[in-house]
Amino acid sequence: MYGGMRGIKGLICETSVLDPDEGIRFRGLSIPECQKLLPKADGGNEPLPEGLFWLLVTGDVPTDAQVKAISKEWAERAELPPHVVSLLNNIPNTVHPMSQFAAAVTVLNSDSKFVKAYSSGVHKTKYWEYAYEDSMDLIAKLPVIAATIYRNTYKDGSGIGAIDTSKDWSHNFTTMLGYDNADFIELMRLYLTIHSDHEGGNVSAHTTHLVGSALSDPYLSFAAGMNGLAGPLHGLANQEVLVWLEKLRASVGDKYTEQQLKDFIWKTLKSGQVVPGYGHAVLRKTDPRYTCQREFALKHLPNDPLFKYYGLKESNYYTVLFGVSRALGVLSSLIWDRALGLPIERPKSLSTDGLMKSLKAT
């Protein structure tokens, strides 16, 4: 109760399970198994996130044709309503990309099919169908939102171009970001697949589930999850890690001794800060998400000391990439929450006084 509820089992999550030693399994499949079994783009080697979404929602590995149908459907649903474009184009580029992301997703709820159905009195056994429709619309639009944020914040604001219904979700995303290197497109397919879900207790998944339990629509629920992902102990850690490593390099250079590394780590800890990215609430062994990205980097970027993303070096944008991926997992779970008719989540709390009294009584 005072320790972040570490290890307390209190949630159901059907889409994935996290093993402390082995890492994540999506519907029973490990990351290497997903890399092997999920459909790939023509000529590609990495799984398509569309296939992972199908797996998370249905529990089955999709066929190539099923994945192609999702790519097409997401491309067809991708257009943003004008008020969201106008919001994004008017937010100052000094606002953190994650705040822009959550704000755009929040106002997208004007188009929520769940809200319309709920207010017209739909039967509760049908809620999941509208949660599904909103999730499909939202996932389809996320790359457009994210790319608009990128181009407005770091480039001249132009150039995201039109969605191509013959391209997959990740390929359209990289094109809109302004990167058309074939290896980068493959990296994004892999990245967007493996960061989608990390069972139910992490902050973004738990928040999306909690807010959704109040029957807030999928846009509001996911935006809430993204505000959690924006915290430095959760998703923002991938920005913070790079910032810390840059500081380390500036301090010790590229030819450092073990002692210099130890001193720098101690300096961080003794000044009351955390070393970002070290220490996971559940994992006790190397994260398989790291292992497969490291293998990718060793193959495609062997000489880069920090494995930079093909020129996408704006580290305070990285959590937005994480957020686009995380949508696949948390929205799959949200569809199931509504299908299972899960109630509003309302655990009981105690004051310290009440806790002490109940302990004395036992």
Tell me how far, at minimum, the Cβ of 280 lies from ligand MLT, in Å. Answer: 6
- Cβ neighbours of residue 236 closer than 8 Å, sequence gap 6 or more: 98, 229, 230, 319
Q: In terms of CB distance, is 66 or 238 closer to ligand MLT?
A: 238
CA–CA–CA angle 134, 150, 316 (5° rounding): 100
Q: How far is the CB of 195 from ligand MLT (least distance, A)?
A: 6
Burial 134-153 (b: 16+ CB within 10 A, else e): bbbbbbbbbbbbbbbbbbbb
- Between 171 and 326, name the residue whose CB sits nearer to ligand MLT: 326
Query: Closer CB to ligand MLT, residue 69 or residue 281?
Result: 281
* Complex with ligand MLT: residue 87 or 328, whichever CB lies closer: 328
Q: How far is the CB of 11 from ligand MLT (least distance, A)?
A: 12
State how far the Cα of 219 lies from the Cα of 109, in Å rounded to an integer.
5
Total residues found in the chain within this entry: 362
Closest distance of CB 281 from ligand MLT, Å: 5
Nearer to ligand MLT, 139 or 163 (CB): 139
Question: Closest CB to ligand MLT among 152 and 319?
Answer: 319
| 34: number of Cβ within 10 Å | 23
DSSP state of 241: H
Q: Least distance to ligand MLT from the beta carbon of 252, Å?
A: 28
d(CA 301, CA 295): 10
SS3 state of residue 250: helix
CA distance 218 to 206: 13
Considering the complex, what minimum distance in angstroms separates the CB of residue 209 from ligand MLT?
Answer: 13
User: Side chain identity at 238, as an amino acid letter?
Assistant: N
Strand order in the sheet with 29-30: 16-19, 23-26, 29-30
Distance CA 248, CA 298 (A): 22
Rounded Cα distance, 141 and 48, in Å: 17
Output the smallest distance, CB 104 to ligand MLT, in A. 22
Nearer to ligand MLT among residue 245 and residue 281 (C-beta): 281
* Residue 106 beta carbon to ligand MLT: minimum distance, rounded to whole angstroms: 21
The nearer residue to ligand MLT, 71 or 325, going by C-beta atoms, is 325
Strand-pair partners of 18: 24
Give me the least distance between CB of 139 and ligand MLT, in Å please: 18
CB of 202 to ligand MLT, least distance (A): 3
Q: Which of 284, 158, 307, 143 is nearest to 238 (CA)?
A: 307
Give the residue with the Cβ less far from ligand MLT, 77 or 280.
280
Query: Taking a C-beta distance cutoff of 8 angstroms, is the pair 207, 222 a contact?
Result: no
The residues binding ligand MLT (CB under 6 A) are 198, 202, 234, 280-282
Query: By C-beta, is 238 or 268 nearer to ligand MLT?
Result: 238
Side chain identity, residue 180: D
Where helices occur in 253-346 by DSSP H, the ranges are 258-270, 288-300, 318-339
Place of tokens 């139910």: 200
Q: Cα 162–224–92 angle (5° rounding)? A: 55
